[in-house]
Chains A and B, each alone.
Chain A
C-alpha cells in the first residue's frame, strides 16, 4: 500500500474512531423518550403550575432515564367509584399505579392481577435505590402475596399519622367551658355541640356530608379495645375486627357487644340537637370550607391533615380560632401507627414499559433534585426556602388556588422533607406524643383469601350501606332495635361463614409465625 493510501486509511479510521461516541450519542438522542403515565389520586390542578413543573421535570427525566412522565388523576369526587374501574379497564396507557393496602384496595387488586409482580432482580436492576432502602428496612415482606411475589413498593420511609379524629375550634370550646379549650372525651363533644348550636346560629356544630361513620367508629374506638383488620372490605366498610385482649380471634364490632348501640344512641342525641344538617345524607357540599368560613364547629379527618392544612388555614381564615384535634382512641390509647403500605406504588400489569416505569419511580423517590421538583414545584415560584431552612411559599401565595397538586403519597422520604412554614408549629410535639402511645398494627403480613367470601362480603356491604349511615346520623327512632335488625340481616347473608373463613386464615398465619 502506498504511503498516501496508508495515511488516508489511517485518517478515515481516526475520523470514525473520533466520531463513534458522537454517533452513538446522536443515535441515542434520536430514540424518543419513553412516555410513562402515573395514575394518582387527587384533583388535577388547573393553575398551570403542574404543567410548568412537569416540563422541567421531564427535561431531567430525559437526561437521567430517557423518559417522560405524565399524571393521570382519579379525582376525589370519583375515587371510590372510578379507581377500581380504571384498573379493571386494563388501560395499557397507565404504567405506575398509586395504591395502598388500607384504603386503595391494594391486596384485592393484586390478587385480581391488576399489578405486575416485581422480581428482586427487576427491582435491583431498575429501582436499585428503592430496593436497597426497603430491603435494608426489611419491609419487602409487607408487599408480598401468598405466592411470595412483590406487588408494590411501600412508602415505608416517611413519618406521618393518619389516625382520624375531630378538628374543632379551641376558642369556642373554651367559651363552652372546656379548660384551655381542650376536649378529651368523645361524649364531651355533646356539650361543645350544644354550645355551638346555642351561640353560633349561622354555624352547624358539625357540618358533615354523605356517607360517614365517624360518629360511630370514634365512639367505639375510644370505649373498647376493638381493632380493625384492614384489607377486608365490604363496600366502604371494614367489618372484621379483633380485640387487643383477644388478638387472634376474628370478630366484628358491627355484630358483637353494646358499643355500637351506645354509639348509635349518642348519634341520635346529636341528631336531635341538630349537630348536622337534617339532610346530611343528601348534602354534598365542601364541609371543610364551611369550617374555614366559620360555618361549622367541627370537621373530621386525620392528624396529617390537621398538622399540614387545618392549623394554618383555620388560623388564617378564622383568626383566633385556636384549631384543636381530638383523635379516636385518645381516651384509651386504642389507635395505631401508620402502616408502611398506607401509600405504595405498583406497576400496572398492562404497562408496556415496566422497567422504564420502575426507573422513573426510583428517580422520583430517591433523586433529590427530581424529588424536590415533583413534590414542591419550581423553586422561588412554587416554594421558597426560608432563612431558617423551612419550606415556605412566595409572597401572595394562596394554597387554595396556587398549589402544585402532584399529591405524591406513594414513596415520600423523610430525608428529603423539610419542615414547612404552613405546618402546625408544634408538629414534632404532636408526632412525639402520638408515638409514645400508638400501637403497631399487628396484621401487616396477614392476607385474607377472599375468593370464597366475595359474594358474602357483597351482601354484607348491601346491609351495612343501608343501616350504618342511618345509625351514624341518628335516623332510627330506636337504635338498639335497628342494630338488632341489622345484625340479624348480616347473619342471614352469611356473616358467620365469612368470619369462619377469615378466622381460618388468621389461624394459619398465627401458626406460621409461632404466635
Chain B
C-alpha cells in the first residue's frame, strides 16, 4: 500500500520527463510543422554546429556551471551557518522571527525581484545612485557593468534561498541525538567545540545528499531570476547568459526550435555526465553517501 504513495510521483515523471524525451529528436532535424518531429528531414549534427562556431557553447557552459557552483557551495555553507547559529539561540521568539524573516524572500516572485532590483540599481532614478548623488559621489552604471552582475545575482539568489534551505539543516540538527551534546557538555566542550565536533559531523550526510541533488541540476540555472534581473541586456551577456536564457531567446525570440532543442539536449547530456561523475567520486570516498 505504501508503494501507492509513489504513484503520483511516477505519473508526474512519466508525463513530464519521459514522454517528452523522443521530442529531443527535433535537434537532429530540419523541423517543419507539416512533417512533425519524426517526419522532418534528418540533418545530423548541423543544428549543433552553430554553437561551436559562434563560441557560445563555452561561454554558456562556463557561466551556467560557475553560477551553480557558487549557488551550491555558498548556499549550503550559509544555510548550515544559519541553522547552527539559530540552534544556539535560546530565545524562542527571536528564533521564530528570524526564521520567518529569512524564509519570506523565497516566496517573492522573480518578477518582483527584478522590478525591485531595477528600482534600486538603475542609473537615472535608482535608490542607490540617488544616495550616491546626494553624498556627492559619481553614480554607477550598474546595468552596463557586466562584472558587477555575478556578485548581484549570487547575492540575490542567496537572499532568496538561504532561509528556505536552512530549514532542512535545522531539521537535521533537531534529529541529532541529544545525548551526544550532553556527553560533550559533561566532557567540558565549549559551545564552539560542540558545533565543531558534534553538530557539523552529524550534518555531513545531509550536506552531501543535498549537494548531490544540487549537482543534478547544475546545468539548470535559476531562469526566472536571471531573466528578470538581466532581461535582454546584451551588454551583460558575457557574464550573465546561461543556457536557459540563451535557449529562451532562441526558441521564442528567434523562432528557432531546432537549434534551441540542440542546446537543451546538450545541457541534459552534459548535466547527466556531471552527475554520474560526481556520484562516482562520492562513492569512491564513502559508498554510504552516494546516491546510487
Residue numbers of A with Cβ under 8 A of B are: 80-82, 84-85, 87-88, 90, 105, 108-109, 111-114, 210-211, 233-236, 277-279, 281-284, 349, 451, 454-459, 461-463, 465-470, 475, 489, 492-494
Residue of A nearest to B30 (CB): A451
Give the docked Cα–Cα distance between A479 and B165 (Å): 46
A-contact bits for B224-256, CB 8 A (1 contact / 0 none): 000000111111010000000010011111111
For A475, the chain B residues whose CB sits under 8 A away are 144, 235
Residue of A nearest to B143 (CB): A279
Given contacts A111-B32, A278-B144, A459-B50, 6 further A-B contacts (CB under 8 A): A80-B253, A87-B33, A112-B31, A236-B254, A282-B230, A461-B254
Residue of A nearest to B142 (CB): A279
Contact of B53 among A282, A461, A492 (CB under 8 A): A492
Contact of A282 among B51, B118, B251, B254 (CB under 8 A): B118
24 contacts between A and B (CB under 8 A): A82-B252, A87-B33, A88-B33, A90-B33, A108-B255, A109-B33, A113-B34, A210-B232, A277-B124, A278-B124, A278-B144, A281-B231, A349-B34, A451-B30, A454-B30, A454-B258, A457-B256, A458-B50, A462-B54, A467-B234, A469-B234, A469-B235, A489-B55, A492-B53
Give the docked Cα–Cα distance between A455 and B122 (Å): 36
Is B63 part of the binding interface, using a Cβ–Cβ cutoff of 8 Å?
Answer: no
Residue of A nearest to B237 (CB): A466
Instruction: Assess the B249–A465 pair: CB atoms within 8 A.
Output: yes
User: Which residues of B23-72 have CB atoms within 8 Å of chain A's CB atoms?
Assistant: 30-35, 41, 46-47, 49-51, 53-56
How far is the CB of A95 from the nearest CB of chain B, in Å?
16
Give the docked Cα–Cα distance between A131 and B30 (Å): 34
Is B289 part of the binding interface, using a Cβ–Cβ cutoff of 8 Å?
Answer: no
A467-B234, A492-B54, A493-B54 in contact; A458/B250 too (CB < 8 A)? yes
For B257, the chain A residues whose CB sits under 8 A away are 88
Instruction: Assess the A462–B56 pair: CB atoms within 8 A.
Output: yes
Is B223 part of the binding interface, using a Cβ–Cβ cutoff of 8 Å?
Answer: no
How many chain B residues sit at the interface, stated as a range, is: 35 or more
The 9 closest A-B pairs by CB, nearest first: A113-B34, A278-B123, A459-B50, A81-B252, A235-B254, A113-B33, A112-B32, A279-B143, A458-B259
Give the docked Cα–Cα distance between A467 and B256 (Å): 20
For A462, the chain B residues whose CB sits under 8 A away are 50, 54, 56, 246, 250
A-contact bits for B89-130, CB 8 A (1 contact / 0 none): 000000000000000000000000000001000111000000
Give the docked Cα–Cα distance between A297 and B255 (Å): 34
Contact of B33 among A105, A112, A457, A470 (CB under 8 A): A112
For A466, the chain B residues whose CB sits under 8 A away are 234, 237
Give the docked Cα–Cα distance between A80 and B249 (Å): 10
Instruction: Assess the B232–A469 pair: CB atoms within 8 A.
Output: yes
For B259, the chain A residues whose CB sits under 8 A away are 454-455, 458
Interface centre among B49, B50, B143, B250 (most CB of A within 10 A): B50
For A210, the chain B residues whose CB sits under 8 A away are 231-232
Give the docked Cα–Cα distance between A112 and B249 (Å): 20
Interface centre among A451, A455, A475 (most CB of B within 10 A): A455
Give the docked Cα–Cα distance between A278 and B253 (Å): 24
For B204, the chain A residues whose CB sits under 8 A away are none
How far is the CB of A115 from the nearest CB of chain B, in Å?
9
For A465, the chain B residues whose CB sits under 8 A away are 232, 234, 249, 253
